[in-house]
Amino acid sequence: MKGALNNILEAMGNTPIVRLNSLADEVSSNIFVKCEFLNPGGSIKDRPALQIIKDYEDSGELKPGGTIVEATSGNTGMGLAMAAAIRGYKCIFVMPDKMSNEKILALRAFGARVMVTPTNVEPDDPRSYYCVARKAVEETPGAILANQYHNPSNPKSHVLSTGPEIWEQTGGELDAVVICMGTGGTVSGIGKYLKSKNPEIKVVGVDPMGSIYYDYFHTGKLTPAFSYKVEGFGEDFLPGTMDFSVLDDVVRVTDKESFLWTRRLVREEGILGGGSSGSAVCGAIRWAQKINQSLNILVILPDGSSRYLSKIFDDAWMKENGYLDPESGGTVAEVMSRRKNNLYTVNKDASVREVIDMMKAHEVSQVPILDGTRIRGLVSEVDLLTALVNGGATEETPVDKVASTNFAILEPNNSAALLGELFTQGRTVIVQDAGQIQGVLTKIDLIDYISHRLTNAS
């Protein structure tokens, strides 16, 4: 039949670009979205999934009747399962237990075996979905690991397909692209291609609160990750497919922001995006507000809403997790306003002796370490004492060598509730606004703020 495609894989790509109207009212820029959830497998991950399979076939490593194994949040698994169904392969997928039941059921519908592992474990823990996937490959004859986190076929797919598609659809009339950061394949591939066409195009990553990318981009330090609910992006380690050289900025969103903006995307724009899509739009609006220019900004919407009906679009689940409650605990800025002491910082090249003298002179117990205006870390009395006593440092050692990474960066408009979560993990919080450090918060600052609120309320 004329016009018919040979199989479902040929329906991949050429997803539409749509202007946002209501949601973009508050910014000067034009905001457009590319609806990648309209790919046949329901997400942008159809593209790397097919490229990974093709490259394994071309190398001879994936043979007829073989098995594809992958650690996935669900979307890459869907793309692999769909392609495997057409090409005659078996699939084994390993997923963290925070993922929606819809994703698990969808993968099983393709005949795949799905193994569910704990979410809150370290990447090198034998129970992590990365380690379980590798073990499944070892135990399965004829199996290959798709390995989206380190497979160059992942970003390659976006250099070959998504990037050129965006350039053609926009006619090059593009100033910035905003993309959620997971494996890094999407932002790295699209960013690499678009910058090859126009180096002035800004590439902005979006990271969930709890992931390591935001802090790493802004400080160059790997701070500890912590749990978050939003699915499909963010990471607790640095994948080989993440190329930071293409990034111009990274913005961060909370779970609550992600879910509420996802709902707004559906209800105000009629676009059935999933949690990462709402996150991307939230991040794009935040970045547009920060730069305050009239630009053409394209936002990649990675997946759709159908896999999150039992979570983001379920009022009971949203209420149970506190996402529909009004913010009642104040903001980080309000906690900062209670502080009386001055902010002191040190340059990364300052010696341990110079930092000790400065701490004594100003009676402070910890100070941020800066490289120009960029945060490099945090050093406390305990860090200095440990380094000196254990012989890891002398008085002439640059303070950057003994810095702690046990901190998190927040912005003034973040909820004060996040402070409590971070402090219970033993973290110190550095507050930053528009690239400028504003101060350091500790447990006693939050205690003082809460005590003040309770006193005024009584």
Beta-strand relationship, 67-71 and 90-96: parallel
Determine which helix (DSSP H) or strand (DSSP E) holds 68, and give its type and residue range: strand 67-71
Sheet of 90-96: strands edge to edge?
A: 113-117, 90-96, 67-71, 143-145
User: Per DSSP, what are the bridge partners of residue 404?
Assistant: 378
- Compute the distance between CA of residue 360 and CA of residue 54 in angstroms, rounded to an integer: 63
Q: Active-site residues: which are they?
A: 45
Encode burial over 85-102: b for 16+ CB neighbours within 10 A, e otherwise. bebebbbbbbbbebbbee
Helices and strands, counts by H and E, the chain: 16, 16
Q: Which residues are registered as beta bridge partners of 377?
A: 369
The closest of 11, 128, 156, 9 to 80, measured between CA atoms, is: 9
Q: What is the signed CA dihedral for 211, 232, 151, 70, rounded to 10 degrees?
A: 120
Is-contact 225 270, C-beta < 8 A? no
Query: How many other C-beta atoms can be found within 10 angstroms of the C-beta atom of residue 321?
Result: 14
Whole-number Å distance between alpha carbons of 410 and 214: 10
